[in-house]
Structure 1
């Protein structure tokens, strides 16, 4: 059997393991280690396992992961996210579909603090669904807005998706964070536009909320100042070169804890819960990263990435045709695989093709992460949809998937805009950090 055939067989085994619900990291460990043993012998395989584990565990840049995760969990436990939603609610909640728009804006703000799509959907679902239900919003719009708004957590920095992409491709975390800012804001606006169109065409989907006074609007901004300040200081600090992403994560986590203590909204129990959740999430991400560095050498030895790359580049469909094929592959994989798993599996294969075609790797990172967002709300897996279902058990799962359909269209529009105008993603990293 040829090495390429062994590579394809390894991928097939991996997909089977994932299909029977073996955890992503353990499935990749099994295939990577087994493949290396077949191609290079047991001793070499075990050597790769030990060296890659030590190399990843001692990488100082990875400190950014637990610190940003802790920052988001602290914000949840200290109810900062609620203050952010209240501010958005006070300013735009009174317009038609305003509560759904406020939810999307709240998700964007919380995403800028947590970097987690699941955390954004879960937190904002708990905060906003009862409010929209109280004002007779159609369940499909309210749940769809929460599920789709939560996906912003993987695009708006700090994003664990960007950190993983940076590690897999050896790109700059700081450049990727900056590259995600404007596309994240653009997608937030597109989501709000989608809500406005839906509620204009069918007003019963999202009635107007109660009007608020200018005094209430001002009070809401004051209440949201702690979380807004942390967002501005962490992302702005990276933007202006005041500190690195790792330092920004430390500053953000420290300020979140300090804000919770000063505001007396963070209890000892809440702090311990945030720490426990952060440890569990970090362990999961680290296991996936180590597994990625075990399966990567196996794929390289099998020459599978080279084979697929040559097959794609030999297609007579142009560079944008190949890009479209790659993005379609992500959309199909998103129906069955979790986002991190897709990144780990596909980067060794697709990334060399993209760079060979002359696409900017930072821009491609933004487009890929945006495409991965679609997988979070695509049936049958749709992680965010099931998260929302856990918060709104009385809403049928089919109704939630109907609700996310307009937001999926908005994501497709965002990908097209970024493809036509890549400078939207590259403007901040090129002006503040340089190429």
Structure 2
């Protein structure tokens, strides 16, 4: 069978399985396995599976990805996401459309510790969406600002996507993080300006609320100090070279500044 035609069939089958609410990982695995067997053979598929699992689980290059996801899950379970939204809401929630702006700010801060857009959007939606509905925000504005704010997860360093890109292309991860910082900040400001203009044109979409007292605002900052600490430790350690080990260890950068992760098994 022509590989191009087979690829089209696989994409159609995959989308159909997803529309039928099959687990995405299971659907991708089954479709990929069927396509591999069609292009090669069943024996070739079995040989690939036998060797692929150990290689994927022992991948030092991708070890950082589940660790960032774990950090994001820990932040969710410990209530950090709720504290982020509460702190943002205490400072800017009294403006018209302020809850939507606070959601964007919360997404930006949560993205700085999770590195994932999907995790950022889903986590902040659980916290911010009920609060915006409670204050009579329209579903269009509430869902739109959370979807837009979720994209900040791959812009605000550290980003899983940038890490994978740096590993695949052997680029300097520090320069990539620095390059992504300004677009991330511009995106935050742009989202908030857009929300402010939108609620000016349609005031009923995002009503204002009573401002928080100064003591409440200061107390909210005390609930998010550990988030700032995580951000400073992670990025400060990367920028300062503290997380770069010597030869034969797990390193972020090579001698030329490119992002490489050395495999300790190479010297065995």
TM-score range, shorter chain: 0.7 to 0.9
1:162/1:173 contact within 8 Å kept: yes
Structure 1 pair 12–74 and aligned structure 2 pair: CA distance change class (3 A): same
Greater fraction helix: 1
C-alpha distance in 1, partners of 2:81/2:192?
19
Secondary structure of 1:209 counterpart: coil
Structure 1 pair 213–109 and aligned structure 2 pair: CA distance change class (3 A): same
Structure 2 residue aligned with 1:196: 196
TM superposition outliers: structure 1 runs of 4+ over 6 Å = none
2:172/2:258 contact within 8 Å kept: no
1:108/1:152 contact within 8 Å kept: yes
Per-residue Cα deviation, 1:125-175 (whole angstroms, up to 9, x for no partner): 221223222322222111211222123223333333334444555555555
**Equivalence map 1:45-60=2 (5 Å):** 48-60=48-60
Q: CA deviation at 1:119?
A: 2.4
Q: Does 1:12 find its partner at 2:8?
A: yes
Q: Does 1:238 find its partner at 2:242?
A: no
Q: CA deviation at 1:207?
A: 1.8
C-alpha distance in 2, partners of 1:121/1:106?
10
Q: CA deviation at 1:214?
A: 2.6
1:174/1:244 contact within 8 Å kept: no
Structure 1 pair 71–144 and aligned structure 2 pair: CA distance change class (3 A): same
C-alpha distance in 1, partners of 2:116/2:9?
29
**Equivalence map 1:394-413=2 (5 Å):** none
C-alpha distance in 1, partners of 2:6/2:174?
34
Structure 2 unmatched ranges of 5 or more: 18-25, 246-252, 260-268
1:97/1:196 contact within 8 Å kept: yes
1:178/1:239 contact within 8 Å kept: no
Higher relative contact order (CA 8 A, sep 6+): 1
Q: Does 1:101 find its partner at 2:101?
A: yes
1:112/1:153 contact within 8 Å kept: yes
C-alpha distance in 1, partners of 2:27/2:115?
22
Structure 1 residue aligned with 2:79: 79
Per-residue Cα deviation, 1:182-218 (whole angstroms, up to 9, x for no partner): 3222212211111011012222221222212333222
Q: Does 1:218 find its partner at 2:218?
A: yes
What is the TM-score when the length of structure 2 is the normalising length? 0.77
Q: CA deviation at 1:59?
A: 1.9
Per-residue Cα deviation, 1:45-80 (whole angstroms, up to 9, x for no partner): 655554444333222132212211111111111101
Per-residue Cα deviation, 1:357-391 (whole angstroms, up to 9, x for no partner): xxxxxxxxxxxxxxxxxxxxxxxxxxxxxxxxxxx
Calculate the aligned-residue CA RMSD, in Å: 2.9
Count matched residues.
241
